[in-house]
Amino acid sequence: MSSDRSDQLRAIRDAVVNLIDSPLYEYRTSNGYYPVIGQGDHFADIMFIGEAPGKNEAETGRPFCGASGRVLDELLESIDLKREDVYVTNILKDRPPNNRDPLKQEIKLYTPFLERQIEIIQPKVIATLGRFSMEFILRHFGALQANQKISQLHGAVIKVRTGYGRASVVPLFHPAAALYNAGQRATLEEDFQVLKQFDAPSQPGTMRLL
């Protein structure tokens, strides 16, 4: 079974690796960057979705492995979770130049991969990290809250209907926001407590890079 999911995720990786139509492909290859597909347990109950890989991530092929990743690890630890208990990915699988905001065309090109990842992993909870991710996911699932702001929705549990059944979306601020702002850090810590009700991994997760 697990190899089914891993095989399907591997197919996504192969498609992204060969995504020569992407406006970010040339930037990836000329810098020796890797695409960043995702990392964590392929049977995770909680999937975290960020915006796009930064420099550290593109250099290693791992999501959230830089400064915001350290914040994410600490927040997970605060609710007794480790990276291998969850699955972490991004909307874009390639780094935009100088960490600029993703363009509409890029979001359109990369989101089919994210949609597939969600269908394969079938998380009970989708925790969005930052505004881009929240807006995409709420729109994708046709949530009524889709036009509300992250300042109104952070920490809420929004029920959505997915292709594999019901799931909850929990919008969270991006961990980078906590790096230089103690207030945002405290808000993130509080909002992470909301995830506690879902974090009952029946067995230790398996860390996979895919």
What lies within 8 Å, CB to CB, of 145 at 6+ separation is 138, 153, 156, 158
- Run of H or E residues at 159: strand 158-162
Residue 70 to residue 157: CA distance in whole angstroms: 24
Judged by CB under 6 A, does residue 57 bind ligand URA? yes
The CA distances from residue 9 to 118, 183, 208, in Å, are 10, 37, 10
Nearer to ligand URA, 64 or 113 (CB): 64
Judged by CB under 6 A, does residue 106 bind ligand URA? no
- State in angstroms the smallest separation of the CB of 59 from ligand URA: 12
- State in angstroms the smallest separation of the CB of 143 from ligand URA: 21
Segment contacting ligand URA (CB under 6 A): 24-32, 57-65, 73-81, 143-151? Answer: 57-65
Q: Between residue 69 and residue 98, which ones bind ligand URA under the rule CB under 6 A? A: 90
Phi first, then psi: what are they for 102, rounded to 5°? -60, 140
Asked if 75 and 192 count as a contact pair (C-beta separation under 8 A), the reply is: yes
Judged by CB under 6 A, does residue 128 bind ligand URA? no
Judged by CB under 6 A, does residue 68 bind ligand URA? yes
Nearer to ligand URA, 40 or 54 (CB): 54
Positions that interact with ligand URA (CB under 6 A): 50-54, 57, 63-64, 68, 90
